[in-house]
Each structure stands twice: as C-alpha cells, then as structure tokens.
Amino acid sequence: MALLPILRFPDVRLKKVAVPVSKIDDGIRKLVADMAETMYEAPGIGLAATQVDVHKQIVVIDITEEKNDLRVFINPRLDQCTGSQEGEEGCLSVPGIYDKVERAEFVTVHYLDLDGKTQSLQADGLLAVCIQHELDHLNGKVFVDHLSQLKQTRIRNKLAKQARVTA
C-alpha cells in the first residue's frame, strides 16, 4: 500500500467528473487499498478517487472512531434523498476549513462492492452526509461550492496565503 497525494482546492483537477469503473481488477483493488490508507493517515472519514487525481467513480468511507468499518463504493449513485439536515463539513482537499452545508437527511445509494456485486444502502446522519460529500467529488464539486461566492473567495485567499507561508 502507498500514501497518495491529495489534491487541494482550488486545483482544477477537482472539477473533473469521474468516469464509471468498467472492470474491478487488481489495479482497482490496489487503488482502493491505497485510498483507504491515505484517508486513515490524513486523517479523514471519506475519500473520493478524484481527490487523489484518479477520475474513476470510487469512494472509501469509514465514519467509526475505531477505523474498522471501511466501506467501498464503486460506481455509486444516489437514488432517494429525503429530509434535510445542516451540519459543519470539512474536507481533506480543503484543509483547515469548515462550514455549514445543507444536505439530505436520508439517502439510498446503489453501488458495486469490490467483488463487483450490486449493493444498496440506506443511510442517515453522518454516513448520509459523507456519502453525499464524496459523491459530489465524483461530480467535480467540492463542499465549498455549496457556499456563497464571498465565502468561496475568502477560502481561496486563506488557502493561497497558507500555501505561501509553507512554501
């Protein structure tokens, strides 16, 4: 396994829409393992392949404190999104930035597992938020895209300043 570099907002590659995975093979399984290791090391609770500059529809999520319940979603699609919840979100591609985002409270997601079997999952709470957040990445969106233009500009400026300080 290997740690993968995580793209940082406003990198234009984060805007690229991911393509479906046509075949789940050893290369995809290695990518999933590397993504999981990268997510845990960061540390984070979700990571989309887009964030590591691989534009395939793959997401890994583990919302447990113990980091022992890795969920893998290949070619995921949301079916039902109901209710509404607002919560503070952060993102490994937007380090140190958190803001409130409104999301559906309940979602149903259909996807392939690592064995290529079709699965369906109903989720609520943090898992529902995480699924929506990561699927946004596959569609070329970052959570800050849900914020006002003013907030987006402030975030870009703050991250640019941080990059200058650490360079």
Q: Which two tokens mark 51? A: 């964030």
Residue 51 contacts residue 141 (beta carbons within 8 Å): no
- Which residue out of 66, 86, 102, 134 is catalytically annotated? 134
Q: Which two tokens mark 66? A: 């113990």
Cis ω before 10 (30° cut-off from 0) = yes
- Residues ≥6 apart with Cβ < 8 Å to 89: 98, 99, 100, 101, 129, 133, 143
What is the pairing mode between strands 118-124 and 85-91? unpaired
Q: Check if 134 is active-site.
A: yes
Give the residue numbers annotated as catalytic, written as ranges: 134
